[in-house]
Structure 1
Amino acid sequence: MDHQEGKCRYTGMDKEYTIEDLAAFHGHLGPYIVLGYMIGRYARKNLCSDPFQMKAEVFCQDKPPQSCLADGVQIGSGCTLGKRNIRIVPSNEIRCHFAAGERELVIIPRPIAFTSESGKEHDLLIEQLAEKMYRMADTDLFTADLRPDWDHG
């Protein structure tokens, strides 16, 4: 990005994160960080590209592995805990809400086909599932409903 007069050089940057980037940020590669990343990227591309103008709510269980979804949403959307424009809402139903101005985007993940294997192969199979999800189309991972003039009242 070129530095323009009066503009910060590192504002408005966008980056495609690799599987390795996600694993480095999160500490390992799992399905929920990948799913959250893909959801966040979708919101950034289809609702608002400015992470200062968007808010995110991640509805999920408030413990891992489901809460790992929020890490991916942060990376993908740019909504972060530090900016205070993302929050986890404890819920048994997984979904993400994004808002920018009067527009809202609701994303509902499709069920994840977890392995029933246990033992030492389990972690490897979970990682392989996450890699597979990273290459999947958004429509195979979730449904999205953009509401242009959402009535918040």
Structure 2
Amino acid sequence: MIRRRSLHVSLQVAIVSVLSFYFGVHFTQFFQGESAGIGGLWAAISSIVVLQATQKATIESAWMRTLGTLIGASMSALYFQFFPFSWLGMGATIFATVLLCEMLNIPDNARLASITVCITMVMASLHPSINPYLNSILRFSESMIGIALSMAAISLWPTDADAKGEK
């Protein structure tokens, strides 16, 4: 038997994912058309990662995603300031990113920061003509689209878990 809450959460995630993809594609297309599909995908992934069962959990996830994405995009931009894409460079940047998160005492952000490094680096390998700073800024911005839509969804359409005060 399917519960009402399960249908609500499933529909909420599906709607937010599709909207994030749509807005991510159109936002990225404005700046760099070749990577628009990946931009939409990155926005949708961010919305799925951030959207949780309650407002409180969604807000916590949003902050973690924002900081992790900012660190990963910044580390990628720093790498590209000096070097072109390489698999070894991607590994070294992930290493440095995780190490930075550990040194800042935010180890939980290391996963999301590393994922951002991966997506930014892969985009650079697929589209080497993209300006490295634009690449990093777009990946951060696409993530923010997914985060914003997740925050709006959980605020405008809270789940039963919020109404019951569940965590």
Question: Normalised by the size of structure 1, how large is the TM-score?
Answer: 0.31
> What TM-score results when the alignment is normalised by the length of structure 2?
0.29
Q: Which has the higher contact order (CA 8 A, sep 6+)?
A: 2
Whichever structure has more strand as a proportion of its residues is: 1
